[in-house]
Amino acid sequence: MNKQVKAFIFAIVVALGGFVFGLDAAVISGTVGFVTEQFGLSELQVGILVSSPAFGVLFALLAAGPLCNKIGRKKTLIIIAGMYWISAVTSALAPNYIGLVCARILGGLAFTSITVSAMYIGEIAPPKWRGKLVSVNQMNIVLGLTAAYFVNYLLVKATDTEAAWAVKLNMEQHIWRYMLGSEIVPALVWLVALFFVPESPRWLVYRGRIEEAKLIMHRITSDDEIGEQIAAMEESLHRGDEELSAMSQIKELCHKRMRIAVIVAIIISIAQQLSGINAILFYAPTVFEQLGGGTNTAFQQTVWVGLVSVVFTLAAILLVDKLGRRPMILFGLLWVMVSHLICAYGFKTATYTLSPEAVQELPAEVDSAALVPMVGKTFDSDIAFKDALIEVLGAEPARTHAAAIIAESASMNAGLILGGILSFIAAFHFSIGPLMWVLFSELFPTSLRGVAIPFFALVSSTISAAVQFMFPWQLANMGGTSIFLFYAIVGAAGCAAIWPFLPETKNLSIEEIQLQLEKKTL
């Protein structure tokens, strides 16, 4: 087998971690309603459950770098894959709410698979394939998200149609466990496959294990290039030992010549997460239930989210070096704003009326008699309607049956709102989603990335956790109009804030980018 093909295969195996991450991150979206009903959760408890992996990754980000340097990339990836698998098993078997949260936090500790996978691929992939293979890692994340939506939809459909296999597995009672358990096999496959990839030669050189590095290089590199590459690694690492101490990097980041880079990184870190992407991705069925189509329709619509994500992520990968970073990001933020304004308008013009005929169509477990005071009344917002439901049914029954009752009561342009949501998904994955990571790798010189990228990833992850935690409460207390209007304002503010500072980095070397940024120094 060609040596470069071997390196390609090793990189692809490691990139499977992106798929497992996407699957783990999105599969929880389908379980929200079922877990809420089984454990009687409040909005804040739901927020804690969904955001628990995001809080877990905050700690993991601090440990991943030192662990990679101490025990190696391969062993770190194996530990991460093991945590994914254990998290999937314990999530599916969780006996109670606390157990489920703890299992999901463990999965969050493994979310560093994104950065560690990218690190390994960058160090082992042939130069001409390096960019594409790192991009494959990003694409695998989106494919994992899409797979999660497909799995959730198929399980719900099988349960609703009483498919023989679903009845045999008692799917109706344990559907959320099967959703979470769908990650077990992919995580196990990735875990086993990692034992067959070699350690990163660069890490072996870093640890002074030159002969071991040469043996691996013989498997993936032409023999006449090994000596030169090993020498280059040693020179680079020696230079890094002098220049890349954590304190030196922090001092350098605070220098005025890095001011523009830091400003851009902070703005895009905040704007990316406050745009509402994880509110949509992690609560997709819950969001679509607000459109009045019912639970089954909501799960079907989540599949469109996954497909749109794949198409526009691929478009971003193909076009970023042609269109440039600056126009794609600025246009993307404006696109985000317009998409959310469409959604806000759709919810603003919606009304909710529970007719006598609609009451008869509700599931038998809904207390129809308690709904009599609401019959014939028209509510001009989802918040007013939900408050009335809580008043007549009580908080827990209202949360449990809200989707079914909204499906029979809502009068809105659901197609318009659905189009707005899918437009936002497209805008995000075409611009600020993947391009934030591209900018992080370009704005900062190699000597500062060890501190800069983890720090801004931490900023992004912290905001992501807050968004996931607060969204159920926001949906219950602010309503669709206010939520999407807020996200639209974030898009506009992000575009206005980054406009004066964002450089065009297309086709520029790291050194040329640094010179351009220094000319812009405030």
242-271 per-position pLDDT tens digit: 445 556 666 767 777 778 888 888 999 999
Place of tokens 């970023």: 320
d(CA 482, CA 486): 6
| pLDDT > 80? residue 497 | yes
Q: What are the residue boundaries of the structural domains of the chain, listed by start?
A: 1-197, 255-350+412-522, 352-411
d(CA 132, CA 124): 13
| pLDDT > 80? residue 128 | no
pLDDT recorded at residue 179: 94
pLDDT recorded at residue 241: 45
Q: What is the mean pLDDT of residues 371-383?
A: 89
Query: What dihedral angle (degrees, nearest 10) is formed by the CA atoms of 30, 36, 38, 41?
Result: 160
pLDDT recorded at residue 453: 72
More confident residue, 219 or 151: 151
Within 43-183, residue ranges assigned H as helices are 43-71, 73-92, 97-109, 113-124, 127-160, 164-168, 171-181
Of the candidates 323, 269, 324, 259, the one whose C-alpha atom is nearest the C-alpha of residue 494 is 269
Residues 6+ apart with CB under 8 A from 40: 396
| pLDDT > 60? residue 240 | no
Any idea what the Cα angle at residue 502 is, between residues 497 and 506, rounded to 5°?
155
Q: Grade residue 118 by pLDDT with cuts at 50, 70 and 90.
A: confident
* Of the candidate ranges 50-54, 101-105, 122-126, 149-153, the one whose mean pLDDT is the lowest: 122-126
Give the CA distances from residue 407 to residues 295, 333, 382, 414, in Å, rounded to whole numbers and listed in that order: 9, 32, 12, 11
Q: What is the mean pLDDT of residues 441-466?
A: 76
Model confidence, pTM: 0.83
Q: What is the mean pLDDT of residues 133-139?
A: 72
Place of tokens 């042609």: 322
What residues are paired with 375 via a beta bridge?
A: 354
Which helix (H) or strand (E) is 351 found in, with range? Answer: strand 351-353
Q: Are 159 and 299 in contact (CB under 8 A)?
A: no
Q: What is the mean pLDDT of residues 468-473?
A: 88
| pLDDT > 80? residue 220 | no
Q: What is the mean pLDDT of residues 162-190?
A: 91
The matching CATH number, chosen from 1.20.1250.20, 3.40.50.2300, 2.130.10.10, 1.20.140.10, for 1-197 is: 1.20.1250.20
Strand order in the sheet with 410-411: 378-379, 351-353, 410-411
| pLDDT > 60? residue 236 | no
pLDDT recorded at residue 133: 67
Residue 521 DSSP SS3: coil
pLDDT recorded at residue 343: 95
Q: What is the mean pLDDT of residues 126-132?
A: 61
279-330 per-position pLDDT tens digit: 888 888 888 888 877 778 888 888 899 999 999 988 988 888 788 888 999 9
Give the CA distances from residue 188 to residues 17, 82, 366, in Å, rounded to whole numbers and listed in that order: 11, 8, 41
- Token pair of 478 as six digits: 């602010």
For every residue of 434-464, DSSP letters joined together read HHHHHHHHHHS-GGGHHHHHHHHHHHHHHHH
d(CA 310, CA 307): 5
Q: What is the mean pLDDT of residues 1-6?
A: 68
What residues are paired with 352 via a beta bridge?
A: 379, 410
pLDDT recorded at residue 144: 92
More confident residue, 113 or 269: 269
d(CA 52, CA 162): 33
Place of tokens 């599969």: 27
Of the candidates 326, 280, 276, the one whose C-alpha atom is nearest the C-alpha of residue 301 is 280
Hey, do 1-197 and 255-350+412-522 end up sharing a CATH topology, with the first three levels equal? yes
- The beta-strand segments (E) located in 388-432 are 410-411
386-398 per-position pLDDT tens digit: 888 888 888 888 8
Q: What is the CA radius of gyration of the chain?
A: 25
Q: Are 458 and 294 in contact (CB under 8 A)?
A: no
Q: What is the mean pLDDT of residues 20-25?
A: 90
d(CA 497, CA 324): 19
pLDDT recorded at residue 12: 84
Q: How high is the mean pLDDT of the chain?
A: 84
User: CB neighbours (10 Å) of residue 373?
Assistant: 11
Q: What is the mean pLDDT of residues 70-96?
A: 92
Domain 255-350+412-522 has CATH 3.40.1280.10: no
Give the CA distances from residue 133 to residues 15, 64, 201, in Å, rounded to whole numbers and listed in that order: 8, 21, 17
